[in-house]
Amino acid sequence: MAPNPYRADIDGLRAVAVLAVVLNHLSPALVPGGFVGVDVFFVISGFLITRIIGREIEEGRFSFARFYERRARRIFPALFAVLAGTLAAGYWLLLPSDYLQALRAALATLGFASNLLLWYQQSSYFDATESKLDPLLHTWSLAVEEQFYLLFPIFLLLCHRLWHRRVVRVLLLCALVSLAGAELVVRSNRTAVYFLSPFRAWELLVGALLAYGALPAIGSRLLRNTLSAGGLAAILLACWGYSDATVFPGLTALAPVLGAALVIHAGSSGPTWAGRLLQWRPLVYVGLISYSLYLWHWPLIVLAQYASGMEPPTPFAMAGLLAASMLLASLSYHFVEQPLRRGPGGLRRRALVPGAALALATGLFCGIGVALGGFPGRFSPAVVALDQARAPVIPYDRCSDLAPQAACLLGAGTGRPQMLLWGDSHLVSYAPALHELLGRRGVQALLLAYPGCAPVFGAASSIGADCREAQARVKAHLLAHPEITTVVMAGYWGNYFRADGPLRTASPAGGALTGQAAAEAGLRATLQWLAQHQRAVVLIGPLPAYGKSVPAALALEAATGHRFARSTADQQRLAGAAFTAVAGEFEGGALFRLVDPLPWLCAPQCALIRHGVSLYRDAHHLSVAGAMALTDELDAALDQAARVPEGLALPASLEASASRASEEK
C-alpha cells in the first residue's frame, strides 16, 4: 500500500458531492440528479478507509478495536448533535405521525439500520410514511457505510491470509457481482437496490480497488488531465442529466462512480487541472465540513417546511436554508467534530461516558415516544384525528398483487363473476365503495389490483414490481373467461401521464416509449384490445391530486392556521388533459364509458374534508371515508354506463338492477 498523504482535491470532490445533494434537496429543479453525490461519497469513503485498513493489515498492526474507535470518533459526535437538535425541534413542530417516524428513524440510526427501516417502510406501496417529511431520512447512507465497514475489515483480513496475491481480483469479482445484482433487480425492486448495502457495496469497492492500485499510475500529463476532467464532467453531467425518473442505481450509477474514481486515480498519479480546481480553498473548506453539512441540511429543510405550512421554499428561503446549513455545519465541525476526533487523548477518553449516556438517553426517549405514538398529547384531538387519517387500516390492502385465481371478490352474488375490476392502488382505495354498491345490486366482481402498475397491457413501471407479468395474467384471464363481459379500470393516471412518468413500453415503430408517450400508447392499445374482444369498459378518470399529503396539510392547518391552498376543477382538468385526450378517442363507442370523478369533488373548488374527516389518506388516494362519500356517484355512474351506450354488455344482473333503479327514479 502506498503512503496516505492528505489530498486537498479529495476534499474538493467531497464539496462537489455534498453541494449536489444539498441543492437537490432544496429544490430538485436546481440539480435534478444531485442524489448522485451520495455515490461519489461512497467511492471516496471506500478509497480513504481501505488505504488505512490495507496498510495496517500489511504492516501487521491492524486492530478491530482501534478501527471501530476511530469510526466512532468520526461518526458519533456530529451525529448525536444532529439527533438531539432534530428531536428537540421536532417535538415542538412535527405532527404525531411524522414525529413517530423521526423517533423510529433515530432509533434505527443509533443502530446504523435506518436504510433497513426505509426499505421496509417504502417497500410497501401503501405505507403512509412520507419520506419528504422525515427529518432523518438522509441517515440511510451512513447505515450503508457502517454496515459495509462492519464486515469489510474481516473480509480483507481473510483475503490477505487466503489470497494474498489475488486481493484485487477478489475485490473486483465482488464489485461486479454487486453491480450485476443491482442492475438485475433495480427495475423490479428499485427501493431495495437504492437502500440495501449489498447493492451499494460495489461503489465502495471501486474506491477500495483504487486504494489497492488496481489501475496503473498515469505517467502522461495529457492523459491525466483528460481523464480527471472527464471524470469531473461525468459527475456533473449526472447531476444535471439524471432525475427522479432515472432508473437508478444500477448501471446508471457508473457515471458518477467511475467519474469519481477517475478524478481520484488521476490525482494519485500526479497534478491535474481538475485537481487544481478542486483544491480551491473555499471548495476544500466545504469538503472539510461536508459530513456535518450533510447531517444538518435535511433536518433544517424538513423543519422549515413544517414551519411554513408545508409550502415549497421560495428562492430567498432556499438561500437562507443553505446559509443556515453552512453555519451549523461549520460550528459542528470546529466545536463538535474536531475536538472529539483530533483533540487530546484525555478529552476523547472523558467524552466516552457522556457520549454513552447521551446515546442511552436518546434511545430511551425515542422508545417512550414510539410506545406513545409520537406524543400526540401535544396537539388537540381534532388535529390528532386528521393526522391519524394518514395511517389508516386499508380494508383491501390484502387483495393487492394476487393472481386471478386467488383474487378477492367484491359485492355479492353466485356463479362466476361477470365483472373484472382492474387497476392499481387507486382502485384499492375505491374498493370499499365498490363493494357496497355492487352488494346492493347483487353483483359480484373480481378485484385485480397491482400497486404501481398502470392498468394497461405491456407496460413496465419503475415504481411497481413485475407489472408486465401482472398485466399478462389479466389478459390471459380475460381470454380464458369469456363470461367476464365488463372491465372497470381505475388508476393513478396523473402520475402515469407525465413526461417523466414511470412507464416504459414498446413502440409500434420499434424501440421503446417512456413517460407520457408510453402511457398514451399503452392505454390506447389496451382499450383497442378490449373493444376487439367485445369487453365493455368503464374507465374511471383521474381523481383530484395534490403535491402534498392532504390530511397532513389539513392537520397543520388546524394546528397552526397556515391555509392549505385549494385546487379547482379547471386546474385538475388541465393536469389530466393528456389522459382525457386518449380516453376521448373512444367516447361514443358502444362498449365504452368514461367516468369523470372531478365533478364529484370539485364544484368548482375541490373538496378535501367533509364533516371534519379528510377525504384523502395522502396526496392522491381516497380515504375510506372519501371512498364511501362517493358511493352514490359511483352508483349513478354504473347506472349511466348500463343505460346510455346502446349495446354495452354489462352483466345481466347489473343491467337488471340499473333498470329497476331507473324505474324507481
Rounded mean pLDDT, 629-655? 62
Is the model's pLDDT at 651 over the cut of 70? no
**Are 412 and 439 a contacting pair, CB within 8 Å?**
yes
pLDDT tens profile 178-208: 999 999 998 878 889 999 999 999 999 999 9
Task: Tell me the percentage of the chain whose pLDDT exceeds 90.
Answer: 68
Of residues 89 and 356, the one with the higher pLDDT is 89
Cell of residue 2, nine digits: 502506498
- pLDDT at position 351 is 65
Is the model's pLDDT at 665 over the cut of 80? no
Is the model's pLDDT at 632 over the cut of 90? no
Contacts within 8 Å (CB) and 24+ apart, 19-23: 19/286, 20/235, 20/239, 21/138, 21/294, 21/297, 22/293, 22/294, 22/297, 22/322, 22/325, 23/322
Rounded mean pLDDT, 23-31? 94
**Are 327 and 74 a contacting pair, CB within 8 Å?**
no
- pLDDT at position 646 is 40
What structural domains and CATH numbers belong to the chain?
A: 8-378 (no CATH), 397-664 (3.40.50.1110)
Rounded mean pLDDT, 405-423? 90
Cell of residue 280, nine digits: 480551491
Average confidence score pLDDT of the chain: 89
Please list the residues that pair with 538 across neighbouring strands.
488, 593
- Peptide bond connecting 651 to the previous residue in cis, omega within 30 degrees of 0: no
For helices 577-584 and 515-532, angle between their N-to-C axes, nearest 10 degrees: 30
The whole-angstrom separation of Cα 53 and Cα 155 is: 11
**Three-class secondary structure assignment of 48-110:** HHHHHHHHHHHCCCCCHHHHHHHHHHHHHHHHHHHHHHHHHHHHHHCCHHHHHHHHHHHHHHH
The whole-angstrom separation of Cα 465 and Cα 451 is: 9
SS3 state at 445: strand
Is the model's pLDDT at 565 over the cut of 60? yes
Residue carrying the nine cell digits 395534490: 546
- pLDDT at position 162 is 87
SS3 state at 11: helix
Neighbour tally for 303: CB within 10 Å: 20
The whole-angstrom separation of Cα 346 and Cα 339 is: 11
- pLDDT at position 510 is 78
What confidence tier does 664 reach under pLDDT thresholds 50, 70, 90?
Answer: very low
Cell of residue 279, nine digits: 483544491
**Three-class secondary structure assignment of 391-431:** CCCCCCHHHECCCHHHCEEEECCCCCCCEEEEECHHHHHHH
CB contact set of 108 (below 8 Å; sequence gap of 6+):
114, 116, 117, 139, 143
Q: Among 110-119, 212-221, 355-364, 573-582, which is the least confidently predicted range?
A: 355-364
What confidence tier does 303 reach under pLDDT thresholds 50, 70, 90?
Answer: very high
**Global pTM value:** 0.84
DSSP 267-296: HHHS--HHHHHHT-HHHHHHHHTHHHHHHH
Task: Tell me the percentage of the chain whose pLDDT exceeds 70.
Answer: 93
SS3 state at 197: helix
Cell of residue 363, nine digits: 434511545
Burial 102-129 (b: 16+ CB within 10 A, else e): bbbbbbbbbebbbbbbbbebbeebbebb
The whole-angstrom separation of Cα 261 and Cα 251 is: 15
Rounded mean pLDDT, 99-110? 95
